[in-house]
């Protein structure tokens, strides 16, 4: 599994299987090389399917068990069950405008897409429930991470103190330069304490800012009662590591996509 990223805290738990893909170990060519998981980016369909076959086999799943999101940088979270199996990959999907998914049913591979945005993995070991959310800057301003946790609380009686959270590879504060407009959105959404930890003046003379989306999510979860020791944050930046990841900021639209996959066994 050395071409797939996994969290140390989650990878040895028998009840779950998960990964965040890299560019390595697939069959796609050129800008898509090699493990492109995006169907809508211009890559050959059969290459993408082969990439999914390889990843799901490694995880002990089949592609028929996957359920693909339909991400729009908003904050809707949907409960997924057996009736959604294969949607978005093996058959038409009724899932629309969904950036967060959760389930307490085994054998369902929640699947979300990335090329710099932050993947958020949630595992409730007490109620045997999982969730996966896509949090770019818009989703982070809307606090989709918090809304996912609240949705798990409502549906599965999840308590923040029990949850294990993985914050995956994403564009880091080293590379994520944003304009004043974006900074203002964060100022409105987060208190000064958190702003001091996530927004920094840019090193160049652009009068722009460097934004730490992973830290924004981490602070949000800690404030909601998740134990710091239960939050694992990947230090990997998708923009810095050209060899490992597709990055929208670095590559623009001619690129592949990573996916996060998360399932209860
Ligand atoms: Zn970076």
87 sits in the region (left: phi over 0; alpha: psi -120 to 50; else beta) called beta
Q: Ligand 1 center to residue 161 CA distance, Å?
A: 31
Q: Ligand 1 center to residue 238 CA distance, Å?
A: 7
Q: Ligand 1 center to residue 149 CA distance, Å?
A: 28
Q: Ligand 1 center to residue 231 CA distance, Å?
A: 21
Give the Cα separation of 183 and 246 in Å (integer).
Answer: 25
pLDDT attached to residue 81: 98
Selection from 75, 22, 24, 65 nearest residue 238 by Cα: 22
pLDDT beyond 90 at 68: yes
Give pLDDT tens digits for 207-255: 999 999 999 999 999 999 999 999 999 999 999 999 999 999 999 999 9
Q: Ligand 1 center to residue 36 CA distance, Å?
A: 21
Q: Ligand 1 center to residue 16 CA distance, Å?
A: 30
Using DSSP's 3-state secondary structure scheme, residue 213 falls into helix
pLDDT attached to residue 30: 94
Q: Ligand 1 center to residue 259 CA distance, Å?
A: 19
Q: Ligand 1 center to residue 179 CA distance, Å?
A: 17
* CATH code for the structural domain at 4-173+231-264: 3.60.140.10
Give pLDDT tens digits for 71-100: 999 999 999 999 999 999 999 999 999 999
pLDDT attached to residue 200: 97
The three state secondary structure string of 83-96 is HHCCECCCECCCCC
pLDDT attached to residue 205: 81
Give pLDDT tens digits for 201-220: 998 888 999 999 999 999 99
Give pLDDT tens digits for 160-205: 999 999 999 999 999 999 999 999 999 999 999 999 999 999 988 8
Question: What are the structural domain ranges in the chain?
Answer: 4-173+231-264
Q: Ligand 1 center to residue 98 CA distance, Å?
A: 27
Selection from 260, 258, 254, 235 nearest residue 245 by Cα: 258
pLDDT attached to residue 75: 98
Distance in Å from the first CA to the final CA of the chain = 17
pTM over 0.85: yes
Selection from 248, 188, 193, 183 nearest residue 219 by Cα: 193
């Amino acid at each position: 599994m050395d071409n797939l990223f996994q969290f140390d805290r989650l990878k040895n738990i028998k009840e779950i299987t998960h990964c965040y893909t890299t560019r390595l170990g697939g069959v796609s060519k050129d800008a898509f090389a090699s493990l492109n998981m995006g169907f809508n980016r211009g890559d050959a369909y059969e290459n993408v399917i082969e990439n999914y076959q390889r990843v799901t086999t490694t995880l002990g799943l089949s592609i028929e068990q996957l359920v693909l999101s339909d991400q729009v940088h908003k904050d809707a979270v949907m409960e997924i069950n057996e009736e959604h199996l294969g949607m978005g990959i093996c058959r038409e999907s009724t899932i629309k405008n969904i950036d967060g998914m959760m389930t307490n049913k085994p054998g369902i591979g929640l699947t979300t897409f990335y090329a710099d945005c932050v993947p958020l993995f949630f595992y409730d070991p007490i109620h045997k429930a999982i969730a996966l959310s896509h949090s770019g800057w818009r989703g982070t301003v809307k606090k989709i991470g918090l809304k996912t946790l609240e949705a798990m609380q409502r549906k599965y009686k999840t308590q923040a103190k029990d949850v294990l959270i993985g914050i995956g590879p994403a564009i880091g504060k080293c590379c994520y330069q944003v304009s004043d407009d974006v900074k203002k959105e964060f100022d409105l959404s987060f208190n000064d304490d958190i702003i001091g930890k996530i927004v920094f003046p840019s090193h160049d003379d652009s009068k722009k800012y460097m934004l730490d989306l992973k830290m924004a999510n981490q602070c949000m979860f800690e404030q909601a009662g998740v134990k710091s020791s239960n939050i694992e944050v990947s230090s990997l930046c998708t923009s810095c590591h050209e060899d490992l990841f597709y990055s929208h900021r670095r590559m623009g639209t001619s690129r592949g996509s990573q996916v996060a996959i998360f399932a209860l066994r």
